[in-house]
Structure 1
Amino acid sequence: MSEKCRVAIVGTGGIAGAHAGAVAALAERAELVGAVDVDLDRAKEFAARWNIPATYSTLTELLATGQVDLVHLCTPPSTHVPLATECLAADVDVYLEKPPTLSLDEFDALIAAEEKSAARIACVFQHRFGSGAVRLRELLADGVLGRPLVALCNTVWYRDDEYFAAPWRGTFDVEGGGPTMGHGIHQYDLMLSILGPWQKVTALAARQARPTQTEDVSMALVTFENGAVASIVNSLVSARQTSQLRFDCENATVELEHLYGYQNADWTITPAPGHEAVEAAWSADLLDVPSGHTAQLTAILDAKAAGEPTPVSLSEARNTLELAAAIYASAFTDKPIHRGDLAPGTPYATRMGGPGAPWSA
């Protein structure tokens, strides 16, 4: 590998700009060497904007050059598995946009492909990497906050009917699901990175207002192996948009409110009576690293340089995707789902929506 990590962006639509910006912010460590899009004119326009020297209409052409170390895969979700598998076969690492796959079975197929490769996949869950989330995990691990008891996770956003005019949006077969898969997944992934493995979920989902095959609202009650309990709300019909997380621990309440990304100022900490020292522990030497693709890419490059496992690995991300599948399974069967219930080949492992949402009939 060259001194700088050679990065290519595959899929030059809306989210690709965030990826290019992250590479540009780390120019001393990484460089953009290629852009790929089935629409070559769009790839060329993107390349001109970000000073990328080469464009391709297929991933195969890019990989054939042998001049790339890391592919940022920014294509629609239905293409993730075949394209990521092609990268793995060429022993090229992947930074994979969310949702990583359309189903749990697809995700497990990706894990199997990775096991045969020297390359590794990192899933885009960038909210784990802001300094506030890092500090929260540290204080929980050190026992400063005591046990986590109760958590709230709300992704309440607004998308109008026009947003769903794109034929792949609001579908299980192409997008993978509604706000549970495509929007709230970032917030509850952050919650899971803090609270660890979940145990059981009871959920409901509804199509309240939007012209979709999927839900536009879901709600879930979740229990965790460590004894914590949490509620999760994912919505696309909420006029005042916000993303909220709250963790009530034995010694303090820690809260985060933002929209699409956070900084330290978006966090608040309220010590329980007698535990005022927690506030000083929170703020001590705390850097202000915003959440985002740059923060996660920094962690990926650090791991590559040190020969350590990539963050967030497929094995880590599976906990998140299994919860998404379980929310749909519980909502559509009206039954609680335990982690591990969704065996390979069963309806909600094969497809997030299983046989279909109740309203699809």
Structure 2
Amino acid sequence: MILTQRNYRAAIVGTGAIAHAHAQAVLGSGRAEVVAVADVDAGRVSAFAEKYGVPSAHASLDDLLRKEEVDLVHLCTPPKLHTPLAVACLEAGVTALVEKPPTLSLAEFDTLIEAERRSTAHVATVLQHRFGAGALRLRRLQEAGELGRPLLATCDTQWFRDEEYYAVPWRGTWESEGGGPTMGHGIHQFDLLFSVLGPWSEVTAVAARQARPVDTEDVSMALVTFESGAVASIVNSVVSPRQTSKLRFDYERATVELEHLYGYTDDDWTVTPAPGQEAVAELWARGHGTASSGHSGWLAAVLDALDRGEAPPVTTEDARRTMEFIAALFASAFTGERVRAGQITADSPFAARMDGTGAPWEKVRNP
């Protein structure tokens, strides 16, 4: 089936650091153009528009939607604004592409799902590591049965963020970010893990505030069981001086590993076949490329889906599983109980807020 590629009119809301990655991806796609940009900071939005040749700058999303005809809006604002801005896009019939984390809570995410159901447009979360060549190849080989059963995985996001990083007012609070490294940093790695291993079934976790002057956690760890029977450990940290992002998948026929920092290429993956399974390495080597796991590959997948008349990736169904895991991690960490998939229902305090019944360190400080 041959699809006719459209040329999409895109807007970017929020012109902080991540917005530049979005602008570069759009400009490099050859299939879309940035026709408008919005930010409450007049000087910053003007400079951004000039840098990328954007013809129209606005002070708000509402103003942009009133005056412009756009197909897509890239939401690059602080997390607290994601839900109301995405709902406004959906109500205007415009597809919203939302940076991570998509919402502050599971309840907010369900609000997005309902808004999408009422709209002719879609909402998708920006989780670009799913779309690097290595991740695509791994899923393809797994689905073809070439690796055997997945048995064990490890997923580590060990980054370093200092006090200056948290001096930005909206960082480090439950009310503005919804969580610490579990929400804003490690989500990239464990979402990639979930895209490979499929639905998780239960989690046992701990979370701690070890060193940073924040309300949220700065470290979390989880033991996870998957519906497939595979088990995994997940670590999220912003207190680790030697920064790394690592994933390891142990299958019956091979170990597949990835180590990078903020984005990977094929060169960051290694494959170690089990004895007698050397053919796996040969299969992996086919189609070796140089493309990175950045926003360009993700945007290409988004535009391909829209060309087909489909919801763009990462869909609300995909992203909800990841958001539910985050809520379950905090629920387990703060209650000391094992939490199963589906256990956090609408009446759970951990659905309304990721800190649910309250972080233990807050209870110590405010008995």
The TM-score bracket by the shorter chain reads: over 0.9
Structure 1 residue 289: deviation in Å?
2.6
Aligned to 1:80: 82
Q: Unpaired runs of 5+ in structure 2?
A: none
Aligned to 2:213: 211
TM-score, normalised by the number of residues in structure 1: 0.98
Taking the aligned partners of 1:2 and 1:286, their CA distance within structure 2 comes to 26
Structure 1 residue 66: deviation in Å?
4.3
Aligned to 1:30: 32
AA partner of residue 86 (structure 2): A
Counterpart contact for 1:73–1:80, Cα < 8 Å: yes
Q: State which drifts further: 256-265 or 280-289.
A: 280-289
AA partner of residue 220 (structure 1): A
Q: How does 1:18-57 map to 2 (within 5 A)?
A: 18-26=21-29, 28-57=30-59
Aligned to 2:99: 97
Structure 1 residue 25: deviation in Å?
1.2
Cα shift readout 1:277-318 (whole Å, capped 9, x = no counterpart): 001111112333310111100000111112223111011111
Q: State which drifts further: 284-293 or 339-348.
A: 284-293
Q: Residue 289 of structure 2: which of 265, 287, 290 is its match? A: 287
AA partner of residue 285 (structure 1): G
Residues 215 and 321 (structure 1 numbering): CA distance in 2 closer, same or farther, change over 3 Å? same
Taking the aligned partners of 1:310 and 1:32, their CA distance within structure 2 comes to 18
Counterpart contact for 1:105–1:345, Cα < 8 Å: no
Structure 1 residue 18: deviation in Å?
0.7
AA partner of residue 296 (structure 1): W
AA partner of residue 155 (structure 1): T
AA partner of residue 7 (structure 2): K
Structure 1 residue 333: deviation in Å?
0.4
Taking the aligned partners of 2:95 and 2:58, their CA distance within structure 1 comes to 18
Structure 1 residue 164: deviation in Å?
1.0
Aligned-residue CA RMSD (Å): 1.2
AA partner of residue 360 (structure 1): E
User: Secondary structure at 2:267's aligned position in 1?
Assistant: helix
Taking the aligned partners of 1:19 and 1:66, their CA distance within structure 2 comes to 19
Alignment length (residue pairs): 360
User: Secondary structure at 2:103's aligned position in 1?
Assistant: coil
Q: How does 1:247-286 map to 2 (within 5 A)?
A: 247-286=249-288
Taking the aligned partners of 2:347 and 2:113, their CA distance within structure 1 comes to 16
Aligned to 2:197: 195
Counterpart contact for 2:180–2:216, Cα < 8 Å: yes
Counterpart contact for 1:148–1:249, Cα < 8 Å: yes
Taking the aligned partners of 1:87 and 1:248, their CA distance within structure 2 comes to 42
AA partner of residue 159 (structure 1): R
Cα shift readout 1:97-117 (whole Å, capped 9, x = no counterpart): 000000000000110000000
Aligned to 2:168: 166
Taking the aligned partners of 2:253 and 2:58, their CA distance within structure 1 comes to 54
* Residue 142 of structure 2 corresponds to residue 140 of structure 1: yes
User: Secondary structure at 1:209's aligned position in 2?
Assistant: coil
Cα shift readout 1:209-244 (whole Å, capped 9, x = no counterpart): 111111111000000000000000001110000000
Taking the aligned partners of 2:307 and 2:216, their CA distance within structure 1 comes to 41
Taking the aligned partners of 1:162 and 1:67, their CA distance within structure 2 comes to 39
Structure 1 residue 355: deviation in Å?
2.5
User: Secondary structure at 1:275's aligned position in 2?
Assistant: coil
Q: Unpaired runs of 5+ in structure 1?
A: none
Taking the aligned partners of 2:305 and 2:6, their CA distance within structure 1 comes to 15
AA partner of residue 317 (structure 1): A
Q: How does 1:304-315 map to 2 (within 5 A)?
A: 304-315=306-317
Q: State which drifts further: 163-172 or 241-250.
A: 163-172
User: Secondary structure at 1:330's aligned position in 2?
Assistant: helix
Aligned to 1:5: 8
Identity %: 59
Aligned to 2:130: 128
User: Secondary structure at 1:161's aligned position in 2?
Assistant: coil
User: Secondary structure at 2:164's aligned position in 1?
Assistant: helix
AA partner of residue 72 (structure 1): H
